Amino acid sequence: MPSWDDVVEIGTRLPGVEVATSFRTPALKVRGKGMCRLRTNPDALVLRVIDMGEREALLQGQPDVFFSTPHYDGWPYILVRLEAVDRDELAELLEEAWRVFAAKRVVKAWEAERAGE
């Protein structure tokens, strides 16, 4: 079961990700924009997804892991039950959220570096 510490460990491997706060809760940001944050009531990770299509696919495909509240209707964010998400899937989702906000040149350099590994 991933924890916030795992989210931070995974997320900060990506260039430019910083630990911050958002709405007085722990968050990860890229270029000042929130890619994810912890939420209470209900407890969950609020996570940016690529688009509304991905949001709907996640919500319908794994309702035990992903959910939403009316506050997030119409926005490309999902709520993730950390106690239910697979660590590898969480890493993929964090990378996708990072790609939304990271500078294109940073993403390209990061991809090139990984291809050389």
Amino acid of residue 20: A
The confidence band for 40, taking pLDDT boundaries of 50, 70 and 90, is: confident
Q: Which 3 state secondary structure label does DSSP give 108?
A: helix
3-state SS, residue 115? helix
Residue 14's SS3 state is coil
Instruction: Of 83, 117, 113, give the one whose Cα is nearest residue 15.
Output: 113
* Closest to 3 in 3D by CA, of 20, 26, 23: 26
Domain boundaries, the chain: 4-107
pLDDT of residue 114: 86
Above 80 in pLDDT, residue 57? yes
Distance of alpha carbon 35 from alpha carbon 20, whole angstroms: 11
- CATH architecture for segment(s) 4-107: Alpha-Beta Complex (3.90)
Put simply, whether the predicted model's pTM sits higher than 0.75 gets the answer yes
